[in-house]
Structure formats: structure tokens, C-alpha cells
Structure 1
Amino acid sequence: MQERGVRKIRKGVVTSNKMDKTIVVKVEGLKLHSRYQKYIKRSKEFKAHDPNNECQMGDIVEIMETRPLSKTKRWRFVKLIERPIGAADNS
């Protein structure tokens, strides 16, 4: 039996939860400039599957790479790491 490959895991902030069962997560990182040897902040947004619609804007979440779920959705929500202090809990 063949082993499953290692999947990428990213940590980021939820920037949108307006779609049904989908969140948009912004992941930021630092990249070293090749000539000037200074760090530049880079960010990328990923669409992730959130089956229970439990994420809110501003949440810090962990997402994992998965098979394509739609045209642009290739990540899935794994766990909630931190919720902002002032966020209302509508559960």
C-alpha cells in the first residue's frame, strides 16, 4: 500500500467568511531580498473549506492542503488557533 504524501500546513488570518462553507485566509511571510539582504513582507490569500461555517473574520486559523474542492478551493480548515478578544461568539 502506498503512503500518503506530506501535506502543506499554513497559518493565517481569516479576511472573509461571506461565502457558504468557504473562508479566505491571508498568510503572511518574510522573504529575503537577494541583492539588498533585507526582509520583505509577502502575503497570499487562500480559499479554504469550512464545512460548519465556524470561522469569523479576524480569527487566526490553520489550513491544510487537500484535493481540489472547486475551481479555486484547494485548502481546508483544520483548527482555530486564536479568536480576537472583542469578537462576539454567535454559536
Structure 2
Amino acid sequence: MPGAYWHFGELRSFMGDQANKKTMTGVVVSSKMDKTVVVKVERRFAHPVFKKVVKTTKKYKVHDERNECVEGDFVRMQESRPLSKEKRWRLLGVVAREKSLVSEKAE
């Protein structure tokens, strides 16, 4: 069976890793690096003591192979193996383009 191996009497698969990887969406805040964009992800959760909904943001460096993203784009990303010291995410696609870029192309 390709993509499988025996581990202590149990058959395991190593090709099904794609389903276990996390995906997130966020806004591109910087696209100045080559093949890398910085994406800001907003997360909301209820505070465990005060029960108030709290917003936190975190920035991730995402691998953009074709340099297709610009600042303001809403993108989806997936975790991957470490690509550099700080890059652990790959770009899956652009969900929505920045509004000013779309209006310039229409003219």
C-alpha cells in the first residue's frame, strides 16, 4: 500500500497529513519582501474569568510563491513545514482583493 507504513503492529498513513493542517484567513499588511507577505489574523474569544469577548491580533509571515498579494488583500493560508526562520505558513489563495486595486483595473 503506497503512502503507508507499519509502526508497532499498526498500519499508519503519511499521505493524509494535508487534512490535519490548520487554515486561517487574514489581511495582508505588508508585501515588501520577495515571496513573503505578512498577514494579520484577528481572533475573538471569551475571557475565561470576565466572559467578555476579547479581540487579539497576531501577524504571520506567509510564503507567496507568485508574489500575487498586495496590502489590503484578504487571504487564506495553511500551515506547512518551516520554510525559513519565521515562515511556517503557505498561501492558499486570495479570498478578496483590495478595493482600490479592483477599481483601478475597471477603469
The answer as to 2:38 corresponding to 1:24 is yes
Matching residue within 56, 61, 67 for 2:75: 61
Following the alignment from structure 2 to structure 1, what is the Cα–Cα distance between the partners of residues 48 and 80? 32
Q: Structure 2: any 5+ residue segments left out of the alignment?
A: 5-12
What is the identity, as a one-letter code, of the residue corresponding to 1:26? K
Structure with greater strand share of residues? 2
State the alpha-carbon separation in 2 of the partners of residues 85 and 47 from structure 1: 23
d(CA) in 2 for partners of 1:60, 1:68: 23
Q: Following TM superposition, by how much is the alpha carbon of 1:63 offset from its aligned partner in structure 2, in angstroms?
A: 0.4
Which runs of 5 or more residues in structure 1 are unaligned? Answer: none
Q: What whole-Å deviation, never above 9, does each CA across 1:19-71 have from its counterpart, x for those lacking one?
A: 00000000001011111110000111110000110000000000000000000
Q: Report the structure, 1 or 2, having the larger helix content.
A: 2
Identity of aligned residues (%): 44
Query: 2:44, 2:69 → 1: CA distance?
Result: 25
Instruction: Say which SS state the counterpart of residue 38 (structure 2) adopts.
Output: strand
Which of 71, 76, 82 pairs up with 2:96? 82
TM-score of the superposition, structure 2-length normalised?
0.79
Taking only aligned residues, the RMSD between alpha carbons, in angstroms, comes to: 1.1
Q: Contact conserved, 2:44 with 2:53, CA < 8 A, in 1?
A: yes
Higher relative CO (CA 8 A, sep ≥ 6), structure 1 or 2?
A: 1
Q: Secondary structure at the match of 1:86?
A: helix
- 1:39 and 2:18 correspond: no
Kindly provide the amino acid, as one letter, of the partner of residue 92 in structure 2: V
Q: Could you tell me how far 1:84 is from its partner in structure 2?
A: 2.1
**What TM-score, normalized to structure 1?**
0.92
